[in-house]
Chains A and B, each alone.
Chain A
Amino acid sequence: MADFYFSLPPLLRGFLQGLAVVLVIFPIAGASSLAERKVSAWIQGRPGPNRAIVPWFAAIPFLGRFLQRLGLFHLAADGGKLLLKEEPLPGHVHKFYYTIAPWLGLIPAFTTITVVPFGAYWDSAMQTMHPLVLANVDIGILAVFAIGSLGVYSVILAGWSSNSKYPFIGSIRASTQLSSYEISMTLAVLPVFMWINSPGSDGSLSLARVVEFQSGTHFLGGLWFVFLMPLSALIFLIALFAETNRLPFDMPESEADLVGGFHTEYGAFKWSLFFVAEYAHMIVGSAVFVVLFLGGWNPLPWVPVASLVHWFHLENLPFVVGLVSIAIFLAKVIFMIFFFMWVRWTLPRFRYDQVMRIGWRRLLPLAIANLIFYIIAIALLT
């Protein structure tokens, strides 16, 4: 099967891989919206969505009732409603930008996932793990930051093209907030890449290499970077909340003071695309966090997937190893998405001036101090 796949022309392979990305991320993003409703209900002590059911399923004893209580059919019901309802096009908007803005949010999210490694398979000939990634480029993290930074245009354009006051304020807030927190985010990951680029090695910003440095079995080699560089991880995580517009940093939306922020004038399918884009950004952000700080696809610190391969004698089953590593990686990503929701329903939203103060006067100096500390520490160690 693998041989047949590699015999296909590269263009077709690229197309199939791209299709796979969309087919995996889109449903996860959709399921996240249901998960958000369930998690919020659980945190607030409510049952949450538990009514929708397909008539024939309701007849199944126990299972039907269980699925109904789980709220799984609300996902299909929501999607159907958003697809079928009328698409309003307010008369005062800039039609071209208004229409493309929701789609612009999806493109960066789906593009960045191509450079994020999501698993590894065992190469029995080389006796090593090989990362599974759509495009293992040398500039990995830079590509993520570069394409991710284009996501801001979706929100800016949506607010501006709506041609009304509240969306406009939302988009102004978005552009300041996203450019402010990008600086701290970039500074926070620098220590990680200084650590993995020891003097004399070929310099690389590849994300797969970061995981490689967290899959050893001796003390420093197997330590996940969240333990080695806790402050970097914290700063990165806070900046990630700001970059994905999640509470407590969801200034562009702030429905309490801006009605709905940048998407006030949107409805139906276009509106839902903004949320698919938001969840897609969360998935990519969580995946990058897992790769950088949580050991990627390794089950435990000091226990890399390679150890599992030796313990359970999986040397001749590359597909099984690949699936196991992808499952571990996905479990961590899902935990991170749950963490995003947990924080959303626990902390209240910051005020706009607080967001700016935290970004520029707390997080940025902290990120610079952290960077200088690790420059000195790494220089002393190596």
Chain B
Amino acid sequence: MSDLLFFAFTALTAGGALGVVLNKNAVHAAFCLLLSLLGTAGLFVLLNAYLLAALLILVYAGAVVALFVFVVMLIGMQGGTGKPTGRLATVGAFLAFIALLAGAFVTLTREPLPPPVLANMPPVGAELKLYAYQLFTTYLLPVEVSGFLLLVAMIGVIVLAKKDKPEAKA
């Protein structure tokens, strides 16, 4: 049962991700991204990491993709042919493809990894209290830095969105 669900969610995640890349229509791509995120959340649930699953859906599926869709609809990006690919992009894509093939080859031919020892891995994502404790002790610096980054981004957006000069009052 669990295996079946695992395959279903993996198919959803990978298929959705492929759909994001291959779709020409931006709205279709955004909804494929949504499917992919839902699949990832399902995988988290199978790992008993309910908190991560809920946060993933709440933040990414519920808010970020909704804003993507909103922007895509507002500026009317509905497919069409993009700019023709430049030579540099073609070479870059070819190199990335070679690297991907090499990576896949190494992964498929190497010795299987030793199974992880469960006792050594605290279930940080599973238990709320443990998760919160880790956030405010071990991972305090990353939390603070990312919070600062978000603050900077927010102020930047406010500055950019404001009109340059207040219009003269008539």
Contact = CB atoms under 8 A, between A and B. Distances in A.
Contact of A11 (B1, B66, B129): B1
Interface residues of B, number: 24
B124 interface: no
B54 A146 contact: yes
Contacts of A168: 73
Interface in A158-210: 160, 168, 171-172, 175-176, 178-179, 182, 202-205
Interface string A90-129: 0000000000000000000000000000000000000000
Interface in A202-237: 202-205
Interface residues of A, number: 28
- Does more than half of chain B's interface fall in helix, strand or loop, or is it mixed? helix
Interface in B113-128: 127-128
Interface string B17-36: 00000000001000100100
Contacts of A175: 66-67, 69-70
A172 B70 CA distance: 7
Contacts of B57: 146-147, 149-150
A182 B31 CA distance: 21
A143 B66 contact: no
Contacts of B6: none
Contacts of A172: 70, 73-74
From B1, B67, B129, name the one whose CB has the most chain A CB atoms within 10 angstroms: B129
A179 B55 contact: no
A340 B51 CA distance: 32
Nearest to A147: B57
A153 B58 contact: no
A242 interface: no
A146 B69 contact: no
B74 to A, nearest CB: 7
Contacts of B51: 138-139, 142
A175 B127 CA distance: 32
A146 B62 contact: yes
Contact of A153 (B34, B73, B129): B34
Contact of A139 (B1, B50, B69): B50
A34 interface: no
A182 B129 CA distance: 24
B22 to A, nearest CB: 17
Contacts of A147: 57
15 contacts: A11-B1, A138-B50, A139-B50, A145-B62, A146-B58, A147-B57, A150-B62, A152-B62, A153-B31, A157-B31, A172-B73, A175-B66, A175-B69, A202-B129, A204-B128
Interface of A: 11, 137-139, 142-143, 145-147, 149-150, 152-153, 156-157, 160, 168, 171-172, 175-176, 178-179, 182, 202-205
Given A176-B70, A204-B128, 19 more contacts: A11-B1, A138-B50, A138-B127, A139-B51, A139-B54, A142-B58, A145-B58, A146-B57, A146-B61, A150-B62, A156-B73, A160-B27, A160-B73, A175-B69, A175-B70, A178-B66, A179-B67, A202-B129, A203-B132
